[in-house]
A and B are shown apart, each in its own frame.
Chain A
């Protein structure tokens, strides 16, 4: 059997018939079962691989043969976008589900205030930009048929005499017919085409297995991977040596990454046809894996073709011609079907996607404008119009592709043609990213940015492809328009160092983005833009927190008429009946709630796009504009409220901290206040006792005339004694308060504390004798130089020793005085052998007026100020006075003073002059 053109064409037609059957079954399957196999993540992934067209199947081998690894960028770019699905694709899918987005033009128009002009602009530009891509497919299919026809003597069969253009026209016409039959059978609610997706998935499997089959054949025929590479290297075919990783590498990778988002058909399969967000999860690795599998054999096929095929063979066709040359006709037929699959799937989906854009953004708005009468019609009118518009646009799109093909047919390679389309659709990328991430991007700026980007693309990328067929274009390429050399398409502003593709990508995207950003900064958004921007960002952030763009009143009848015109009687009826059921009213008396109007708008948007749906409903819903303002305000207020509440949270945390500090300070203040009260009452109490005695005795002296001399003398001496006590009490109080406030200033100078101690012992000697107390001088330090005032230190020591004598209740009272030097400290201890200080009193022994039970009992009861004063004095000498804890017998007081030579020379009196309380604070 010899392969002929007739035979492969017949096979192709049969294959198309199979696809049609699959699509038909697929549609029926999903209609009956709500999902099932066709909604699995793998079918979804396979449908995304419509990205791999005949550019991949044939062109990648050609690119590998010409420029080595560069072909991988076309797949690495999308790989990167898919492994980062969480950040861009997920948002796109979520927003599109929520807003019932039907196409990329719909996405941009919807985000930028449901702007019709932007939708129209994007649609027209997409149609123009895709023309080269369609041409690429036509060229690939035509070349593949010709390759088979030329492979044998009788190969041409009935296409004998057809030239390339005629054949391409035939292919285009066939494709148009096929696509119309395929894609415009109905206007679907969400523009989901499960049947088509099923067929596309089948094609994805066919093209992958076909390419792998050819790859395995090549490996087998070439004797293994190493042999193929080695032989190529021996023949001087070193793809390794080409300038791979330069500006072109970066540019193509960027283009491919943006194409996977911006190509209308990719948007269609990835976003619009997505029925479950989690499918994206699987596709995130499965689609890159698919592309990896597609690319694995490209380099071996290219090298094997270059080494074995005759000089001058078209490397783009190696996938087909290698099996043919080896006489493997079955494999060649399979390869042809694989290439045909990749071309048809692309053309079908691309034209469906574009035709949806054309009908929703151009035809329906025009129709709405010219059919001002709201005649009810039969509901089929609009649908029929939409379908016809789509059919026409499919014809138009294929015709444009064919025209481009016939004008540029002299260019030989496939890949550069595809890259022109990629660079064209990449102009949507800045606007899409702004739509997803930037709240302040404005419609005017988006329109201007896309327009500028496209003009630059048209000039520097699209136009040069006609250079071979048009002398005028060639002239412009050479010298610039009208001799303006700085406007030469491939050296704009004199930038001629870059590869032409990188040059076009750089200028178009740079100017596009700049205009978009600067434009958004200097223009302001309309109310609707504002709302839509908020919705898009909120959807991505918190799921759908959308307000209702259209609020206001409309009668159910009006709404029903609109719904029937677009959706058809049955679906409109179902929709209203559902609403009636939910609200529990008779469906003729439905009060259209804002929610219902919004749902209706989304339903309509699923058929005719957001902008048109909005226009249609605005016609019958009154009060829309006012509510828009309201909604905008609401959106703003919400945003502000969120920011506000965050600020409040921060402020309240600060307040809490301050309040805690205040509370602590307050507690201290209350304590101090209480101490002051206690002090006052104690002072009054202490003063009162001698005063009472003085008063009583002087009253007796005044009233009793017959008092004898001795008695009155005794009374007077008591009065004298009491007033002395009173004076000394007042002196002590004054002294203490002066000490506490730091008013007592004395001069500290180095003295021998041992001498002072001896002196104090001598003073107390009389008292000791009087009390029959033995005063024992224990181990003593010989000399201890401390910085102190001798009189004050003596006062403290006398106080300690006399206390020890006075309160000693032992049978054989004894007081031991010891002193020693411990490191830098001089320590004096005064210990007695009395009953000591009970445990519960130890803590309060230094409190003012606290005398303890022993103290109160004895006749020597003082004011209870001796110890506090002593403590203050020692503290001001930078020492400590303490009660030694846990002594076996009696009480032991210990005064510790720093030795003079170890004292810090600085801050001598400053510190000492401060009140004790203040010092506590500074040291804390």
Chain B
């Protein structure tokens, strides 16, 4: 049995920044990361040379790593980290940065994720993504993540009786949210009929179940509450955070993620329960994954997400605000920034800075991450509960 976790008390999340995504970009990951970093540093009034902690997540930095970024961007941190966890990178970056700040290893950590998307770079990213994918997934039709999640969605539907409408509700609501977000890639409304008539991509997945690969970046800063207050920055506190990798490895097909192992501890640490949340940000590379998270985070029983969401309004003004900026499904997937999009939006939300997508009176949010289809399933899972400062 593990020991009790230390709390994240005294840690503040500030200066959420999202750089509007582009479908294709002729610029590099360095360019996108620099823009988001500058956005957050400017908001906090910190000069790049004064930043003492830096954490980056990106797929398209090659041949550089975060080390190359320090020289490229003129940073001289005393704490440096790179998170290779895709959709879980936001929450994991937060967890590590928070501990560094608590321990005094860094005063301020900038957590940044960004990727570019050139013509053909998605195909190239896929073909060198992981050894197991290369050896045992891509030779079978090269459907990429669409094929893996097609199999997973088929299994979920067959096991729990979920319908395409169940998935469609998530996609349609997120589109409604995205229409309020001027930075979203998708700008046209989406109806359930349009969703259901979507072009088949990898059965049972159709066009609107898929995210659009694009270029973009996201950032936030981690510092002490004291420092945030001194700088008069709106801040969120971390009530609890968990991560888990390669859980349930013996499940033949993934129907649950590692959240199930640690979720009780998350709620216990946070002092809240699912019904106390004002909004929910799940990692939405495919709607089935959002449903899996809604179940594994404890909002409903396993296999019941379809039924549960059927009675909910998932839009910004609804009773179950979910992926309030439109998520990746309507906002686009900017590589590793996809692991940050929900967290950065949630920091805006609980600090009252979300503007057009603001959920009225939002104070508390749960954000979960899911990353890295190493072979046949997502391996990395993470979640955090945050709360607006002074709540």
The answer to whether A and B come from one shared complex is no
